[in-house]
Every structure is written in structure tokens, then in C-alpha cells.
């Protein structure tokens, strides 16, 4: 089947682990162009001091600084990622910044166990995670009713936006293991949310979806 995501109808864990094992050291540089999206997504969480936020598919921890700004030193951040090499970078970042309120969980999102229910969750460029309905259900079970949810990432633009879709294709080839659901990547998450709101940016090639966990 090779590594071509177009050949797969659902994400493949071992392919993803290999993708990110190879990218871990250069990942932060590659993501630089998307930083305004990260800020927009974290803004949607409207984090308050003392809150607990999950960063699902946290990668190298690029969102931690913004999440720290929101929850403050009395708050808590739990970063979940299945890729040891990405999490090693995240661990370095936590050490460098002397953040004492960040916990890292090296597990597939669907089987990560955390105690209690969090106030908010971020899915930033985590298409593979968002295409597993069962896994999303298990993550939502770790959230309080009314918890804020934000998800951002690549999406197909309308078919006539050829340059945008060429860009999405190039970026997705290296970051997702299946193109399934790339037209509306948030739809499996949306069934758990009230007040779903979806913004599109980067000429339709990137979305930021947000809402609150249903009561």
C-alpha cells in the first residue's frame, strides 16, 4: 500500500509514527507559516487561569506557550501524542521553560487515560485523530459538559480552487495518513458539540472549528 494517503480509507498508526519520527527535529520550522492559525484556535478556547486543557496530538508542544498564557501557573496542560520523537521535543520545551504544570502522555489519543474531566481541548493539525469516531468519543468522555473545543487543520477547498488544493495536497501528504474526511475534517467531532462554528482561512485550505461539549 506504500505511504500514499490517498490509498487508505482510514488513518494508519504505524505510518503516522514513521512520518513524525522522521519530521520531529525539523517540525517546528515547517509549521512556522501556520502559527497565526494556532493563535486563532487557542483563542477559541477562551482559557481562564486555573483551568485544565488537553492538547491532543500535541506533537513538539508548539501550542504549550499559548495554553500556558491562558491557564497560568495554577492551571494544567495535558499533552497527548503517540510519537516518542515528537514528545521528546515537547519534553525539552517544557524543561526549557520550567513549566511545572504540563503532563505528557505517550499514547494513541483513543487509548490515553487521564483522571478527571478537563475544561477545554485543542486539536491542532491532527487530522488522523479527528477521523476516528470512537477515539473522539473517548476523548470527549474526559471533558466537562460545556467544555470548550477547538480544532484546526488542513481541508480541501472547493474544487475550482486548484492552487489552494495543490498546497493542501502537498502539506497533507506529509502530515496525514489518509485523505478521508479532508472536505469536512471536523464532522465526527461536531456530533459532540453545541454551537459549532467553522471559520476558513488561507484561501479555503485551512479551517478553525470550535464549539462546546454537549450537556
Ligand X SMILES: C[S@@+](CC[C@H](N)C(=O)[O-])C[C@H]1O[C@@H](n2cnc3c(N)ncnc32)[C@H](O)[C@@H]1O
- Which residues are near ligand X by CB under 6 A? 16, 20, 31, 57-59, 62-63, 80-83, 86, 108-109, 124-126, 128-129, 175
C-beta closer to ligand X: residue 51 or 177: 177
C-beta closer to ligand X: residue 59 or 75: 59
CB of 215 to ligand X, least distance (A): 27
CB of 125 to ligand X, least distance (A): 4
CB of 160 to ligand X, least distance (A): 27
Handedness of CA 178, 179, 180, 182 (dihedral sign): positive
CB of 34 to ligand X, least distance (A): 7
C-beta closer to ligand X: residue 125 or 156: 125
C-beta closer to ligand X: residue 113 or 160: 113
Residues with Cβ < 8 Å from 2, sequence gap 6 or more?
none
Place of cell 478521508: 180
CB of 166 to ligand X, least distance (A): 19
Any idea of the CA torsion for 110, 113, 42, 5, to the nearest 10 degrees? -20
Could you give the CA distance from residue 170 to residue 205 in angstroms, rounded to a whole number? 11
Any idea what DSSP says for residue 111? G
Distances (CA, A) of 96 to 24, 92, 124: 17, 6, 22
Handedness of CA 19, 131, 210, 90 (dihedral sign): negative
Q: By Cβ distance, which residue is nearest to ligand X?
A: 59
C-beta closer to ligand X: residue 31 or 143: 31
What's the grid cell of residue 79? 499533552
Handedness of CA 36, 208, 93, 17 (dihedral sign): negative
Amino acid at each position: 500500500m506504500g505511504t500514499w494517503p490517498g490509498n487508505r480509507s482510514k488513518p494508519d498508526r504505524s505510518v503516522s509514527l514513521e512520518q513524525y519520527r522522521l519530521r520531529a527535529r525539523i517540525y517546528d520550522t515547517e509549521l512556522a507559516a501556520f502559527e497565526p492559525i494556532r493563535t486563532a484556535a487557542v483563542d477559541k478556547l477562551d482559557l481562564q487561569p486555573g483551568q485544565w486543557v488537553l492538547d491532543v496530538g500535541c506533537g513538539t508542544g508548539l501550542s504549550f506557550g499559548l495554553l500556558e498564557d491562558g491557564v497560568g501557573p495554577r492551571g494544567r496542560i495535558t499533552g497527548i501524542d503517540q510519537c516518542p520523537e515528537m514528545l521528546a521535543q515537547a519534553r525539552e520545551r517544557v524543561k526549557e521553560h520550567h513549566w511545572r504544570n504540563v503532563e505528557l502522555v505517550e499514547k494513541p489519543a483513543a487509548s490515553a487515560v487521564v483522571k478527571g474531566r478537563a475544561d477545554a481541548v485543542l486539536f491542532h493539525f491532527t487530522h488522523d485523530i479527528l477521523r476516528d469516531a470512537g477515539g473522539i468519543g473517548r476523548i470527549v468522555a474526559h471533558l466537562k459538559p460545556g467544555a470548550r473545543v477547538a480544532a484546526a487543520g488542513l481541508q480541501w477547498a472547493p474544487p475550482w480552487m486548484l492552487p489552494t488544493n495543490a498546497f493542501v495536497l502537498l502539506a497533507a501528504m506529509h502530515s496525514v495518513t489518509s485523505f478521508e474526511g479532508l472536505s469536512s475534517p471536523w464532522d465526527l467531532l461536531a456530533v459532540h458539540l453545541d454551537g459549532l462554528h467553522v471559520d476558513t482561512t488561507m484561501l479555503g485550505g485551512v479551517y478553525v472549528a470550535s464549539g462546546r461539549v454537549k450537556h
